[in-house]
A and B are shown apart, each in its own frame.
Chain A
Amino acid sequence: MADYEALKTAVISGKVAQVKEWTQKALDGGANPQEVLDQGLIPAMDIVGAKFSCHEFYIPEMLIAARAMQAGIAILRPLLAAQGGKPRGKVVIGTVKGDLHDIGKNLVSLMLQGGGFEVLDLGADVKPERFVDAVKTAQPHFVMMSALLTTTMLAMKDTVEALKAAGMRDKVKVAVGGAPVTQRFCDEIGADFYAANATGAVTKARDLLPV
């Protein structure tokens, strides 16, 4: 019998060994891997996101929980793949050209994975053409861009323009975030949405997924 409350508690408190144990116990008890993901790991990361939003959790607690969540996903992934399971959505993410600040982008990436998304992380200092290439090959639902500086965030506009020039703009939703980024800037450059933090990015991505 799966104990999803125990699994969630283990994820939220960042206990890697316990997450592995409760994930394995659930599977051994006959639970479907998708059910373990949907009823254990994903709701746990939802709670982590909520705690982050209300300042009960900070970056360390979030990273520690995400590490524990990934230990559970590592067990489930091959089983899900064997079942032909599909992620909730697919995201291409990166820190824009000229910018090496990636902790914010990494947090968004981790929370997206915790939310059931498949994430292709292009890393930092990503040129617009690399985003375009990734959209062509990976066919994601979303392109998400991060920047630390007012000067580097302008590369977000270049990426939106490059997507348009490649005829790919209407294939994806474009999201932007980072210290200097605002809703006003998002609107100016023709991106689809802005989020102030990782939790907001996951919530908005879920809302915008095709039904």
Chain B
Amino acid sequence: MPINPARQSTDDPRVTLDRALGVFEPVPPYPPRTEREAEFYTLGDGEMFINVGPQHPSTHGVLRVVLKLDGEKVVDLDPVLGYLHRGVEKLCENADYHQAICYTDPLEYVSSLFNEWAPVLAFEKLMDVGVPRRAEYIRVLSSELNRIASHALFLGWMALDLGGLTPILWSFIERDEIVDMLAALTGQRMLFNYFRIGGVNGDLNHEFMSRLGDWMTKATKQVDSGTALLNENEIFVRRMRGLGTIDTPTALRMVMSGPNLRATGVPFDVRRAHPYSVFPELEFDIPTRTEGDCLARYLLRMDEIRQSLRIIDQCLHNMPDGPVMARLPRLLRPRPGRAYAAVEGPRGQYSTYVISDGTDQPFRMRIHDPSFIHLQAVGLMMPGHLIADTMAIMASFDPIMGGIDK
């Protein structure tokens, strides 16, 4: 029996919603609208649908996935997005350039500094603003810390999705130290709102530097002990090896980026491929692996933590003196024009494309998020795997729903 009376859609005459929204059945209550939808929602011999989500602990946010099963094997899956959609792009068009930065913070909420960096970089290009060198170094320093925090969280979540509770407790210890450090620097634990057009919102302070100094002396040891917990765990390694394999041509066709692309052997890293900030001056390697499976994606992120520690070390040694903000008018009205900027985040390439019409608000602000791209690749590697592997494969891509749903 329907909970609400029938409601006729006004958009698509083929769509009739005769059930209450919020009650999820796997098959949509209207005929298929596209080729792919028709193909997916046609059952073969012995197949069935199962609805996962939108509230499910393993989907890293509010994601609904419809699985098509043959026994316990997954044949195909159809992610249904939009439960976290806030319309950030539209909000940014109605805010001025300074305000737009804080709307981008909650996108990928575990790596907020990268969400800020891409629009800030695009705005600076649009306005021809130079950034003081000290501010560039502080940006690199704080964002690499944020990358480590994000990767540490990935380690914990991934093990949790496989059923291991211990690593997340360990990785939260690591992450909390970094997050408290960044709170001392920026004033906030997660949604920092720290980068400004032309610099950063405050110089390094004593509390941050002393916490960072303490942490740096033990960081390598802590990372090693945290990863040893999983690297030498036979259950974990045997479970992850060969799971969710993706090859290089497919990864490029799926426009993947970041660690997920590098795990297939492509050394594409925006910090080197299209350098920004002071990365050309810094020494670090781009770790790659060739297997392209879940284990490779996990190990690659652990290698990246070590490279980030190298970068932080160099930043601390080479930190120049000087101002941390360029002198700018309070009201910014860039000339009409377009700018595009990309940064390498923990999950891949974050980029922002901004169009100015000469007013103090962006005319159009496009935010590109790597998790959005990676989630659609999950369906490709599912066929033949078990239901439990869905969550393991999804976790190995490290998607954050806040960024996917914008």
Q: Do A and B bind each other?
A: no
